[in-house]
Chains A and B, each alone.
Chain A
Amino acid sequence: MPELTYREAVRDALARALRDDDSVFIMGEDIAEMGGSMAVTQGLLDEFGPGRVRNTPISEMAIVGSGIGAAIQGMRPIVEIMYEDFLTLSMEQLVNQAAKHRTMSGGQVKVPLTIRTQGGAGWSPGAQHAQQLEAWFVHVPGLKVVFASTPEDVRGLLWSSIYDDNPVVFFEHRTLYPLKGEVPDELEPIELGKARIHREGEDVTVVATGRLVHEALAAAEQAESEGISVEVVDPRTLLPLDEETIVASVRKTTRCVTAHEAVTRGGFGAELAAVIQQGAFDYLDAPIERVGSKFAPLPFAPVMEQWVVPHAEDVLEAIKKTVARG
């Protein structure tokens, strides 16, 4: 199997969709000649031209809003919001328009729009270029929310998002772009709403998203050497959520840690904890532990940033806390 980086895997899905389907086009800030601020769309302008790889003004409401309008007319637009912090500028269109048109119209329209965005700490951008806001969107009926953590997943999930008939907010993590991984020759779509068990274990389930999947896997390695067997599950799609896989895992292991880079308070881990206590209450041997960032706007100084965001050792500590309950 060929090896692609996470960045190349995103690009591959975009290029294949653009090649296969005239209704697909992409637009966003600096995505054409520059190839995007994360270099994800490099080369696409040359192959597909400025009509289908469209640079936009810095106008997040108009970018998302015009994507909605084109989607309702039968196109499959993929819009890029350069940083997920900037999604805040398009919230009206995403939350009031994209998510609601179908219901408000009594099913007359559908909005097959994909909104790609990225974020994540680890490079000292400060407070407005690295937030993890995925939980906000899980609260909005009508949206789907995807957060992919590996090259194989990001490609297969992006493909499914493009061809989903609903608006999908597709989160990529900045620090994962250089990550390499094997991907099949043929693009295999990954169904939205299916979790992936990255590692099987017996004692504790860690349900992790984005970068924290890799931190959880590192923590699991360490725990293993200390005699604790850890299962790592990545929901991949936060909305809809594969509750069945997650609950089954916790019923088996009887302990659970949730882990994401977003701040813990009101984070996706809270929703996971609610789902798990409902589905596995009688199986739990310890309170569910939540790992996330400390409750602060992301500070600039590297030592502070490091301290605020969670790492493998935080996940390991949480794992041990659940096990210590006996």
Chain B
Amino acid sequence: MATVEEKAGSGGKRVSAEVLRGFFREMLLIRRFEEKVEERFRAGELPGFLHVAIGEEAVATGVCAALERDDVIASTHRAHGHTIAKGTSIERVMAELYGKVEGCSGGYGGSMHLYDVEVGNLGANAVVAGGIPGIVGAALAFQMRGEKRVAVAFFGDGATNAGTFHESLNLAQLWTVPAVFVLENNGWAESTPNTQHSPLPIDDLGKRAHAYGMKLLEADGQDVEAVHLAALAAREHALSGKGPVLLHLRTYRLTGHFVGDPQVYRDKDELQKERETKDPIELLRARLELSDEDFEALDAEIVAEVEAAVEFAKAGTDPKPEDALKYVYA
């Protein structure tokens, strides 16, 4: 968990510059990783279906840095960032995308089913809202055993229209389990804008917490410091016994729903403007006042790491076809 220092004289909390530099590195790593997998997917090297979270790196980084190793998360179809931020090496994530035994799900899962139980990643889910009730159950187990752990579900604004979301939040608050529900609100349910999927204005989606008497915390999802502080507060509240938190983070998906999505439904000028003004990495870079030289050195280092992950993955072991039956039953 990253440390937080008191902002002198203000009474408010802030994240130290050193920690922010660590966040910057991680966000850039996630970005370069996803750019690389887009490239490899377009080159026809990666099977299946890919969803990248370019533009949403501050959410994954800021939230996961607020968690302890034995806190657990459930992710979504847009899972690379959460997985890397929760502590899985990019080699193992990349190997999974190549369908290799060395992958974090042994080649059984793919991009939409990244698991790494050892670091508390209970799996990404390809069914929108599908992972939320499991997090209620994980939190219930922690509560019943008196363990100081939280369970965290990531999901998007589209998921807040699913019955699973409502049933889960209702039950979680009823039983005051230590859960944090992270609403990554990028304003799009695949290609459908929030104006067509929710009667509430986009910035009001967090109010759904009020229907369950649940604590709502909100932050700018493009500001990793704000995300991190809100996530720390959410974790603390969830562990206090007062019940779970809906952590509403407004963010921006600066790419299509899936790799290859032509985004015919999206205003090009608006997207361009979002790319220029809402990129969380650029925002943090400006704030940290990184020199071009420093940035380029860091970037080169990260690009090399990602390239090495690709090489690791390509050199990985193909599963035996008949191992498809190996884990059907315990």
Contact = CB atoms under 8 A, between A and B. Distances in A.
A25 B144 contact: yes
A69 B330 contact: no
A59 B167 contact: yes
A108 B135 CA distance: 17
A179 interface: no
Contacts of A106: 103, 105-109, 115, 327
B309 interface: no
Nearest to B324: A103
A72 interface: yes
Contacts of B140: 66, 69-70
Contacts, number: 141
A141 B328 CA distance: 6
A185 B313 CA distance: 57
A124 interface: no
B142 interface: yes
Given A62-B164, A67-B137, A106-B108, A51 B130 contact: no
B315 interface: no
A109 B117 contact: yes
A59 B170 contact: yes
- What are the 5 closest A-B residue pairs judged by CB atoms, nearest first? A65-B133, A69-B137, A106-B106, A66-B137, A69-B134
Given A62-B136, A62-B164, A92-B127, A69 B141 contact: yes
B129 to A, nearest CB: 9
Nearest to A144: B329
B138 interface: yes
A105 to B, nearest CB: 4
A149 interface: no
Interface residues of B, number: 44
Contact of B327 (A59, A65, A66, A107): A107
Given A102-B329, A105-B109, A107-B106, A97 B167 contact: no
A258 interface: no
A66 B133 contact: yes
Interface stretch (A73-81, A125-133, A271-279, A306-314): A73-81
A75 B177 CA distance: 15
Interface string A136-149: 00000110100000
B133 A93 contact: yes
B141 A57 contact: no
A104 B134 contact: no
B109 to A, nearest CB: 5
A70 B138 contact: yes
A303 to B, nearest CB: 38
Interface in A45-78: 51, 54, 56-57, 59, 61-75, 77
B304 interface: no
A17 to B, nearest CB: 15
Nearest to A73: B141
A92 B164 contact: yes
B168 interface: yes
Nearest to B136: A66
B115 A108 contact: yes
Given A103-B327, A105-B113, A73 B138 contact: yes
Interface string B117-128: 110001101010
Contacts of A107: 106, 108, 326-327
Nearest to B326: A107
Contacts of B130: 92-93, 96-97
Given A25-B144, A59-B167, A67-B137, A166 B174 contact: no
